[in-house]
Structure 1
Amino acid sequence: MRKRTFLGASLFLGLGGLPAVLAGAADATTAKTKAKTVHGRGEILWDTYGVPHVYGKDEASVFHGFGYAQAQNHGDIVVHLYGEARGRAAEYWGPQFAASDRWMLSNDVPARALAWYKASTPQFRKDLDAFAEGINAYNAANPGKIDPKIAVVLPVSGVDVMAHAHRLMNFIYVAPMERTMGAPVPGAGNNGSNAWAVAPSRSASGNTMLLANPHLPWPTSYFTYFEADLNGPGIKMYGATQVGLPVLRFCFNDHMGFTNTVNSMLGATNYELKLSGGGYLFDGKVLPFKTRTTSFKIRQPDGSLKTESLEIRESVHGPVFTRADGKTLALRVAGLDRPDGLKQYWDMGMSKSFAEFEATLRRLQVPTFNIVYADKAGHIQYMDNGILPKHPKGDLAFWRGDVPGDTSETLWTEVHSYEDLPKVIDPPTGWIQNTNDPPWVATYPQVIHYETYPPYVAPPGPESLRSQQSAHLLADYKKLSYDDFVAHKLSTHTLMADRVLPDLVAAAQGDPDPEVQAAVNLLKAWDRETVADSKAALLFETWANLFSPNNFTSLANYKVKWLAADPIGTPKGVADPAKAVAMLKAAIVEMKQKYGAIDRPFGEVSRFAIDKVDLPGNGGFGNTGIFRTITWGPLKDGKRIPVHGETWVSLVEFSTPIKAKGLMSYGNASQPGSPHRADQLKHLSDKTLRTLWFTRAQVEQHLEGRTAL
């Protein structure tokens, strides 16, 4: 059964030898003062799901309360992430973090974060400081609640907040270390966010509706989501963000709302250099590297600190790295001159009209992510947002690879404007959607087309089956009530089964093998829902993985491949019926080996399990065309649990008053001992949602506790 633990670079490894003398050590890059206590700043009302409803006397007080709340529910993760963003994680926790520190220092993240902090408006600097002060205040008021081995990072400052955001946005999302260094990127291939906006013309009530539904890995890390309600003079925001960020990335207020999905925009380029004479070739000349030397400390098993010298080389492209395969690469990242991504998100959430929101989007400070918007006035928008370099030639595949760095012809110096980026505003269809796919089917019939944009903006296709299912759940209905909207969001229907199962059943009908006939009868009776009591869903999934390998993406065995002319109706059919039947026989063998029978109920094997909670699962792999995405991990002791998928959900109807339902699948806290680590799994298992308590009166009726700020 899963305990919530850190993922990837954030794994808690080798902490046992940390000496207690460091428990109060302050970082030189942080404020050297003790955590500030300013009485009368407001309060936090905690509801029965552990959601903080922050009420601040002014803007900075709201940030202070938000920081305090994050420390209470996710303090171990947040403070650890801030230590990593400083480039001092190896000093705090040992050599397993040395590669991360080298990446931070080589890319100037700590130094640039300080410059970005200083470039912020005076008010936003106060906000960042107040958020950090909230974290420090929680620790001061609750000594020992944050793991002392992690609390060595404290106190934190507004610069730390900025550094974490900079690392997350620019050097995890846009330019992950693994991509440059030739290693697998964490979470790659498991993008699963869903977003919908429905205009009044397609709404049964005449009110606009918005779905926010990001999916990221479940083990706790910088990907973990946190739900909150922020209130102050002129401030009303409800939504979620990733832990450590001081602003909501998924947000609605009384007037509007917005959400994000991961897009394919390439804001960074890896240039392969040709070395020569101690330098590198560029336009027929040998240029010397610019070099500088810094150092960082690495904690040893006995608690002592070893200093490692780090020589940082730079070419005209950017910092230079040597990969394990011997290649020398230079990294160039767009947007390093744009410090106001956090401020843009804050102002997006403060918007009260589409005009205000669009003016904020035009700043292009947020370096990546699709953005989907809806408002009470009836406007909806999809935007393939990001800071995108301009290139004279080449498609997405070319610029995603190792680009020749020996010529100025490939060295980009400009980025695209807001006007250049694909977007859909108030389409005649009355709806927009995105599920991480290219922008071309943001609505259907299409209003934006691949041919009208440079080929490096996004791939032409194919449209994933989950994206096609998303489009059908909107396009196939003339009007959607709010109840319809919720029901469609919870859909566990498997579109891939609609496309291939009739051909498979027809091909296998005459096979004399009794086990094949038993499988055919199961598949024929299946309603194609991937739910707990289904006795055919596991069998179909097992067969589908053979029919369409590579995470259900291969089109080789379909009779009709994906067609740009029919983007939400293809692929379909079985190309080789005999081969498909052979795959069914192989799936039967695999089912019996792994699950003991071909008709094991889906929820007996697939479990929603955290700590002591262990419940039947539902939902499945998005690439099989299931909108309710759950990426199931490997089988262990006869069961499997999610590694990725459904996390934060909100469904809002901009009625009077607002209707809002939602869920934080794995709970709104990760701190040891919190009652909110797994208290929403029952909703996930039951395919139900919570009412999101948006007003103070609602919160007071469901109150768990109060914290005075």
Structure 2
Amino acid sequence: MSRAISTMFAALAAMILLALGGTAGAAPGPRGEILWDSYGVPHVYGKDEAGVFFGFGYATAQNHGDVVVKLYGQARGRAAEYWGASEIESDKWVLANGIYERARAWYAKEPASFRANLDAFAAGMNAYAKAHPEALDPSVRQVFPITGVDVMAHGHRLMNYVYVAPQARTMGNADAGSNAWAVAPKKSASGNTLLLANPHLPWAPSQLTYFEADLNGPGIKMYGATQVGLPVLRFMFNERMGFTNTVNGILGATNYELKLADGGYLYDGKVRPFTTSTTTFKVRQADGSLKTETLELRSSVHGPVFTRADGKAVALRVAGLDRPGGLRQYWDMGKSKSFADYQAIMNRLQVPSFNIVYGDREGHIQYLYNGILPKHADGDVARWGGLVPGDTSKTLWTETHTYAELPKVIDPPSGYVQNSNDPPWVATYPQTIQAKDYPAYMANNGPMSLRAQQASHLMADPPKITFDDFVVRKLTSHVLMTDRVLDDLLAAAAASADPDVQAAVTVLKAWDRTVNADARGALLFEAWARRFAGPNYISDANYKVRWDAARPIDTPYGLKDPDQAVAMLKAAATEARASYGALDRPFGEVSRFALGKVDLPGNGGFGNLGVFHVMTWSPLKDGKRTPVHGETWMSMVEFSTPIKAVGLMSYGNSTQPGSPHRSDQLEHLSQKTFRNLWTTRAEVEQNLKATTPY
């Protein structure tokens, strides 16, 4: 057989394998291959960097195609054209902020090598859609082909206009949460660095859904997770280092309230005209036809202008719109070869938000209050986080803080750093940075949430931490709020002759103070705590001692009004009987990990109760509640030789209808166990389900 004919048959075989989704043991394709393990995790092996991106794009389409392709359509500002009138407001937001056009410009500014990576990720998605059109919802197929600009636009929209400048904040409607730990060798029992990645976001499939993947190529090893549709891992580790993120709410955007006058707006005592233009977009009608609508665009010196439901004109100014390199920065962070290299990459300051926690084999740990933050002459978070007067140039910021000016903690004497979405000042304890040394608008000086206090105690209290203990501490379901008030409540209630109060006391005395599935009393305590600390459990007004910056991880505590607290207990008992049928209903009978055909006892609770193992539950329906938000991706790593790594993707690693990986990890979550993460090719091959050459 001639070489040409042999090559032709080999190419044909590769195409057939690709169309079939691949089979175990298949030969790698010309660019690489994806090894799929038994949990639906893609282990991508690319022959070059672009080949890694191609494989990751292909895997993204296979596991999350319907969700991601719709996100790309939204980032184009063409969602109403594709899916109808329900997407009009989404399109208006994208068009008014120039998201897609800016993404096009950002893409052009990237180095040719990274443009090739973005293009390859898009090409991987296109290849999957071509090979498996039947696997994608018909409504999303019209969005193809995907381009590198689409990938950039989605990242831009997510980072700058979901996290930094969410539409709801500008439009006046009314956050997500996470945990992160890094333990240095001096506090680790083994002498090895430990790292926890533990983001909490909504469970319903969306732009905030996480995707677990393993990316391998020449000089590339990255295991971790990212939000679906992003071409890079935002939570990753390898044999040498790792990093994770938590939401920090840095004020990278400002909403300016304008004073309208004579068809324009007042600015420094004069009327200025708006800069105006029009654009059009299409809306799909019920009969499938398209209707063209016109959008009038206005902007001021601050930025694009929007009219809120209350009639106020608000201009939005977003920092970092001149910094296209956020995705590339994450990619390069994962490729860094030393702590000094990592620091140089972080100094680019292209990622617009997030606390970022780092640890490495050499023993370095870091907490960074990362973000692109405008500089102001004065003012605090309350001033710059609300509506700011837009009628004077005195409030118009033009500069942003440098990396050197941001709060950070590096290799602290305590031996650990942590963050649970709180301000940066207690990133370690004893504190090494103080709010007084930074501008007041940088971040509030408390109060510190009970979840963050729990995180601090879990790290600060033990002198040394083993890897096993690290895992156990992550899973703790102890309710810290009970340490602050429950003994006082029980003492105050002891004198009551009310039978409901006494019945509640009996239950709470016997309760183990956890939100584990078998806990009897947790639901009753929740009902009381909602009355005591408000519906979100955050008010400290009813505590005897309120939160104190001088004692940040040990306040608040006590009962300001014991009689009132006892009255709240009686009301909580009435609610618990009505809602749950008993005061001591087991927590997991009501709180269920239910997805599809899987329905298991739940655990984990509201973070503001001081629960580190977080689960935010839906309202009751038919006597049950299910997760709305909480534990999603979890990974715990010890940088030993070889590394130890365990983790879980709580809701599974695929959102595609019919996928077995939508709920196949819920049993682990219910039993509070973790998977060993298969980080080597040998481990993957022992747990191999399919191979996709490409």
In the aligned structure 2, how far is the partner of 1:654 from the partner of 1:699? 20
Q: Does the 8 Å CA contact 1:192/1:629 hold for their aligned counterparts?
A: no
The CA deviation at 1:39 is 4.9
Per-residue CA deviations over 1:171-219 (Å, capped at 9, x if unaligned) read: 11111111111123xxx3xx32000000000000000000000000010
Stretch deviating more after TM superposition (67-76 or 270-279) = 270-279
Q: Does the 8 Å CA contact 1:382/1:425 hold for their aligned counterparts?
A: yes
In the other structure, the counterpart of 1:425 is: 410
Write the letter of the residue equivalent to 1:470. A
In the other structure, the counterpart of 1:305 is: 290
* Residue among 19, 34, 40 paired with 1:44: 34
In the other structure, the counterpart of 1:676 is: 661
In the aligned structure 2, how far is the partner of 1:264 from the partner of 1:126? 32
In the other structure, the counterpart of 1:73 is: 63
In the other structure, the counterpart of 1:616 is: 601
In the other structure, the counterpart of 1:133 is: 123
Q: Does 1:335 align with 2:320?
A: yes
Q: Does the 8 Å CA contact 2:164/2:249 hold for their aligned counterparts?
A: no
Counterpart secondary structure, 1:87:
coil
* Residue among 381, 386, 394 paired with 1:401: 386
In the aligned structure 1, how far is the partner of 2:294 from the partner of 2:525? 55
Stretch deviating more after TM superposition (508-517 or 224-233) = 508-517
The CA deviation at 1:518 is 2.0
Counterpart secondary structure, 2:279:
strand
* Residue among 244, 255, 278 paired with 1:259: 244
Counterpart secondary structure, 2:135:
coil
Q: Does 1:483 align with 2:468?
A: yes
**TM-score normalised by length of structure 1:** 0.93
* 1:465-544 alignment runs, 5 A limit: 465-544=450-529
Write the letter of the residue equivalent to 2:290. L
In the aligned structure 1, how far is the partner of 2:570 from the partner of 2:29? 70
The CA deviation at 1:669 is 0.3
In the aligned structure 2, how far is the partner of 1:514 from the partner of 1:391? 58
In the aligned structure 1, how far is the partner of 2:672 from the partner of 2:384? 41
**TM-score normalised by length of structure 2:** 0.95
* Residue among 568, 572, 576 paired with 2:553: 568
* 1:179-328 alignment runs, 5 A limit: 179-184=169-174, 188=175, 191-328=176-313
In the aligned structure 2, how far is the partner of 1:268 from the partner of 1:555? 29
In the other structure, the counterpart of 2:139 is: 149
Q: Does the 8 Å CA contact 1:207/1:378 hold for their aligned counterparts?
A: yes
Per-residue CA deviations over 1:511-532 (Å, capped at 9, x if unaligned) read: 1123322211211122211111
Q: Does the 8 Å CA contact 1:557/1:574 hold for their aligned counterparts?
A: yes
Which runs of structure 1 show a deviation greater than 2 angstroms over 4 or more consecutive aligned residues? none
Per-residue CA deviations over 1:23-54 (Å, capped at 9, x if unaligned) read: xxxxxxxxxxxxxxx95111000000000000
Write the letter of the residue equivalent to 1:328. A
Structure 2 gap ranges (5+) = 1-27
In the aligned structure 1, how far is the partner of 2:352 from the partner of 2:471? 31
Write the letter of the residue equivalent to 2:170. T
In the aligned structure 2, how far is the partner of 1:343 from the partner of 1:681? 33
Counterpart secondary structure, 1:150:
helix
In the other structure, the counterpart of 1:61 is: 51
Counterpart secondary structure, 2:138:
coil
Identity, in percent, stands at 70
Cα-Cα RMSD: 0.8
Counterpart secondary structure, 1:201:
coil
In the other structure, the counterpart of 1:159 is: 149
In the other structure, the counterpart of 1:358 is: 343
Write the letter of the residue equivalent to 2:62. Q
Structure 1 gap ranges (5+) = 1-37
Counterpart secondary structure, 1:399:
helix
In the aligned structure 1, how far is the partner of 2:242 from the partner of 2:373? 25
Write the letter of the residue equivalent to 2:276. T
In the aligned structure 2, how far is the partner of 1:227 from the partner of 1:78? 15
Counterpart secondary structure, 2:134:
coil
Write the letter of the residue equivalent to 2:681. R
Per-residue CA deviations over 1:104-159 (Å, capped at 9, x if unaligned) read: 01100110010000000100000000000000000111121110111110110000
State the aligned residue count: 667
Q: Does the 8 Å CA contact 1:611/1:678 hold for their aligned counterparts?
A: yes
In the aligned structure 1, how far is the partner of 2:270 from the partner of 2:563? 60
* Residue among 81, 86, 104 paired with 2:76: 86
In the other structure, the counterpart of 1:98 is: 88
Q: Does 1:178 align with 2:168?
A: yes
In the aligned structure 2, how far is the partner of 1:80 from the partner of 1:520? 51
The CA deviation at 1:291 is 1.0
Counterpart secondary structure, 1:220:
coil
In the aligned structure 2, how far is the partner of 1:508 from the partner of 1:550? 22
In the other structure, the counterpart of 2:631 is: 646
Per-residue CA deviations over 1:268-312 (Å, capped at 9, x if unaligned) read: 001111111111111111111111111000111111111111111
In the aligned structure 2, how far is the partner of 1:215 from the partner of 1:137? 32
Write the letter of the residue equivalent to 2:538. T
Counterpart secondary structure, 1:138:
helix
Write the letter of the residue equivalent to 2:565. A
Per-residue CA deviations over 1:593-615 (Å, capped at 9, x if unaligned) read: 11111110000000000000000
Counterpart secondary structure, 1:510:
coil
Write the letter of the residue equivalent to 1:69. A
Q: Does 1:665 align with 2:650?
A: yes
